[in-house]
Amino acid sequence: MIEEEGGLNKIDVDLITKLGGISLKNPVLVAAGCFGYGEEYSKIIDLNKLGGIITKTITLHPKEGNPPPRLVETPAGLLNSIGLENPGVDIFIKEKLPFLQKFHTAVIVSIGGEKEEDYLRVAEKLEGKEGISALEINVSCPNVKVGGYLLGCSADLVFSLTKHLKGVSSFPLIVKLTPNVTDIVEIAQAAKEGGADAVSLINTILGMAVDVECWRPKLGNVIGGLSGPAIKPVAVRMVWEVHRRLNVPILGMGGIMRSEDAIEFILAGASAVAIGTANLIDPQVSLKIIEGIKSYMKRKGIKGVSQLIGKVRVN
C-alpha cells in the first residue's frame, strides 16, 4: 500500500525471503563462528528480530581448537585461526539447542568433520530434533589441517558428501563453500547436483601475518582465515558468478558491515545474507542492517526482497 505524506512516497515493505525452502522473516542472518550459540548476544539484542541464527560449527567429538594467538587484526580485516573449537554434537544437543529452541527465528546448525563419515554421524544425531530449520555443511574452514576444508576443494568430494547427507537428513542442506579454489562455480554445481538446497558464499580467504620484531607468524597456527571488509569484493564477485551460472539459492557473506553491503550481495544474487566479523565490532549491527534494508526499499519503492535478488545491471 502506497500513500502520499508530505510529498514523499510511503510504502509497506515485505522483508520475507526464501532460502532453499526455508522461509525467513527477513534476509539478515548471523554467520557461524562470530555469534557463538546466541546466548551472550541475547543479553544485548532481541534474537527474534533476526532472519536466522547460524550456530558455531559442531563436530562429532569435542575440539579444543588451535593454539593461541588465534586472532590478528589486519588492515580492513581480521585473521582468525580458531580451529573449530566446540563442545561436540552431544553436548550441543543437551546444553545449547534448548536455549535456541526458545526463539522464533530460523536456527541453522553448522556441522563439520574430518571425513565424510563424521558429517553423516553428526547429521544423524541432529535428525528429528526440534527447533532446527536447516544444516549448514562447513566444508570450507581453512583453520584445520585435515577434514572439511580438503573436502571443499574437490568437486567430487563435495558431490559425494552432499548426496550422502541427503540420504540421512531431512533438513534442508546449505553447503558452505571455500573461496580458495580455482573455479567456485564448479564446486557450487557439485553441491547442487549432490542435492544441496542452497550454498553459502563465502568462507574466509587464506592469509598470514608475520611479527617483524621476532620474525615469527602472529598466529599460533601460522595461517588463518581472512574476514572483514577486505574480502567483500571477492565475495560479491563469487555470489554473482554462481547466481548467473546456476539456479541455486545463495546465502551471501563476507565483509558485510552495513546495509549497503548487504544490498550489494542481494543485487548480485544472494537470497539472504549472513553477518560475521561485524558482530565483533557492534553486537547490534545485524538489527541496524535490517532497518537499513527496510529504509532502502521504502526509498526505492520496492515492496519485496525478491525484487532485488540478482537485479544488478551488467549490460
With a cut of 80, say whether residue 142 has pLDDT above it. Answer: no
Strand partners, 77: 74
State residue 151's pLDDT score.
Answer: 78
pLDDT digits (tens, 9 = 90+) for 243-254: 999 999 999 999
State residue 8's pLDDT score.
Answer: 42
State residue 6's pLDDT score.
Answer: 39
Grouping H, G, I as helix, E, B as strand and the rest as coil, residue 199 is strand
Grouping H, G, I as helix, E, B as strand and the rest as coil, residue 257 is coil
141 carries an active-site annotation = yes
pLDDT digits (tens, 9 = 90+) for 229-245: 999 999 999 999 999 99
**Which domains does the chain show, CATH number per domain?**
2-65+86-206+229-307 (3.20.20.70)
Mean pLDDT, residues 156-165 taken together:
96
Q: How far is CA 147 from CA 59, 152, 198, 257, in A?
A: 11, 9, 21, 30
- Map grid coordinates 505524506 to a residue: 5
Nearest to 298 by CA among 272, 271, 259, 264: 259
Mean pLDDT, residues 81-90 taken together:
95
Mean pLDDT, residues 48-69 taken together:
96
State residue 11's pLDDT score.
Answer: 80
State residue 25's pLDDT score.
Answer: 98
Q: Under a CB-based contact definition with an 8 Å cutoff, are residues 168 and 128 in contact?
A: no
* DSSP string of 18-51, one letter each residue: EETTEEESSSEEE-TTSSTTSTTGGGTS-GGGSS
Q: For the ranges 4-13, 126-135, 250-259, 305-314, which has the lowest average pLDDT?
A: 4-13
Element containing residue 125 per DSSP (H, E):
helix 116-126
CA 178 – CA 186 distance, rounded (Å): 12
State residue 304's pLDDT score.
Answer: 97
Catalytic annotation, pick one of 34, 141, 153, 214: 141
